[in-house]
Structure 1
Amino acid sequence: MGLPLPERGPAMAGWSGELVLLRHAQTSCTVNGLFCGEHDPPLSPVGRLMSDTLSDADGLKGTSRLYISPSCRSVQTSAALAARFGLVARVEPRLRELSFGQWESRRPDQVRFEQAYRRWYRDPAQCAPPEGETGLAVLARAVAAATEALTLDGRFDGAKVALLTHKAPVRLLICHFLGLPPRQYRQIAPVPVCSVTRIRFDSGRPRLIELGNVDHLPQRWRSAPDDAMDSSTENA
């Protein structure tokens, strides 16, 4: 039996404000298409350049609070953003990436014949990688973190709040707030590295304003940010 889903509907009646869901910038794992949850690589050279552009995203204007995953890649991505807006990056452990257990640092094609992978592929909400984490477990902690981030002294204050996190939490939060089945969260695309997704709450009604926006990145990286190359090394 899976974890109970966080409440929606009437429980969201008093919600106000805006969630800006940010995915960290590029790492060696995104370039190589590896499962990367608890494994914690730093940003790649391109990722460091990407992180410097994140604060230029139009969707971040007016952000008043910033919460970040404790991962190295998230902390590094947040530095320029926090400095630009004069924000304190508050570390929130519940925003960490889904744990891939025995699949950490492996490619999907290396495990695709395992029974556990077939079960997880069919229902990643209820099923987990071996010694890893279910989507529902991530959903429960991410929704709790998002709810608290949108409140001040226990009340929704209408603020724009940024959560700098990872691919699975972003997609699971979208499913939750838009009423989509959690088992379909891996079908939500695009959510590339260094992207901006926005959900606005008006009288408790959530609206998706942006999904995976990377217009702040240089044009040459926008089509495939996860494995983009620095032009100075492409011909090396």
Structure 2
Amino acid sequence: MTDIYLCRHGRTTMNVNGLLRGRLDPDLDLVGYTEARELGELLGGLGLTRVIASPLGRAVETARPIAARAGLEVETDDRLLDRAYGQFDGASSDDVVEEYGSLDAAPGVEPAAEVLARGRAVLDELAADPSDGPIVVVSHDAVIRRLLDALTPTPTHHEHVQPRTGCWSLLRHDGADWELLMADSKDDPVETALAVRSVHHEPVFSSGQLAQ
């Protein structure tokens, strides 16, 4: 069994201003550093075996407090990078959508299917080599949202997860299937797990396998 805490990096000023971060590397702002510290307090004591992050600074800086509390080093993986927006890195997302109808339609933007494929490859590799404890993966909205959407059973049940900065989602692989146990939380994962078990006795979402 493999448990993965999938975390979005802490807030940056570009998040506040609605600008596409992409491959740009803005620093965390004061709220972002607080979110990173809180993730470290929430997740760092769970007996983690690995902490893996996108190589962009906002993801690495978010991962560091988690890894430090767990006594681990932050590993990086380019497949966890934010979506490549090309010429639109740094542009207003609203302006791009207004001009082209959607980010997907804007010229030169990395296709959504490719974003999902590289994120999924990381998860599948981790599931293929189970560890003795949970793993933290720190990435970006564009990657996390597509992974969580791929785990959603039906659009009407949970149409789109919009991960907030500094939040975690819990994925579990039992050797055959993926389950999305919790999405977009800032709560204590131990207390959350107890509440879910006592109320639902089942995962929040179960997809069978990641959508193709």
TM-score by length of 1: 0.71
What 5-or-longer segments of structure 2 have no aligned partner? 189-212
Q: Which residue of 2 aligns with 1:89?
A: 74
Aligned with residue 146 of structure 2, among 172, 185, 200: 172
Which of the numbers 161, 164, 177 marks the counterpart of 1:192?
A: 164
What is the rounded CA distance, in whole Å, between the counterparts of 2:45 and 2:141 in structure 1?
A: 18
Q: Distance in 2 between matches of 1:51 and 1:180?
A: 32
Residues 180-202 of structure 1 deviation map (CA, whole Å, 9 limit, x = unaligned): 68xx9xx5234100100011122
- Whole-Å separation in 2 of the counterparts to 1:159 and 1:150: 12
Match of 2:181 in 1: 209
The size of the alignment, in residue pairs, is 186
Relative to structure 1, the CA distance from residue 163 to residue 58 in structure 2 (aligned partners, 3 Å threshold; closer, same or farther) is closer
CA contact (8 A) 1:18 1:158 kept: no
TM-score under structure 2 length normalisation:
0.78
Residue matched to 1:163? 137
Question: Secondary structure at the residue paired with 1:57?
Answer: helix
- 1:155-213, CA deviations, whole angstroms, 9 ceiling, x for partnerless residues? x34642211000111111123344568xx9xx523410010001112242322211110
Larger radius of gyration: 1
Q: CA deviation at 1:21?
A: 0.5
Provide the alpha-carbon RMSD of the alignment.
2.4
Structure 1: give runs of 5+ residues left out of the alignment.
1-15, 217-236
Name the SS for the 2:109 alignment partner: coil
Q: CA deviation at 1:71?
A: 0.3
SS in 1 for 2:138: strand
Offset of residue 60 of structure 1: 6.8
What are the residue-to-residue correspondences of 1:35-184 with 2, within 5 Å?
35-57=20-42, 61-114=46-99, 117-118=100-101, 120=102, 124=104, 127=105, 129-152=106-129, 156-157=130-131, 159-178=133-152
Bigger RCO of structures 1 and 2 (CA < 8 A, at least 6 apart): 1
One-letter code aligned to 1:172:
R
* Amino-acid identity (%): 28
Q: Deviations over 1:2-22 (max 9, x none)?
A: xxxxxxxxxxxxxx3112100
Helix, strand or coil: the match of 1:198? strand
2: CA distance between counterparts of 1:170 and 1:75? Answer: 16
Deviation at 1:64, TM superposition (A): 1.4
Distance 1:161 1:175 in 2: 20
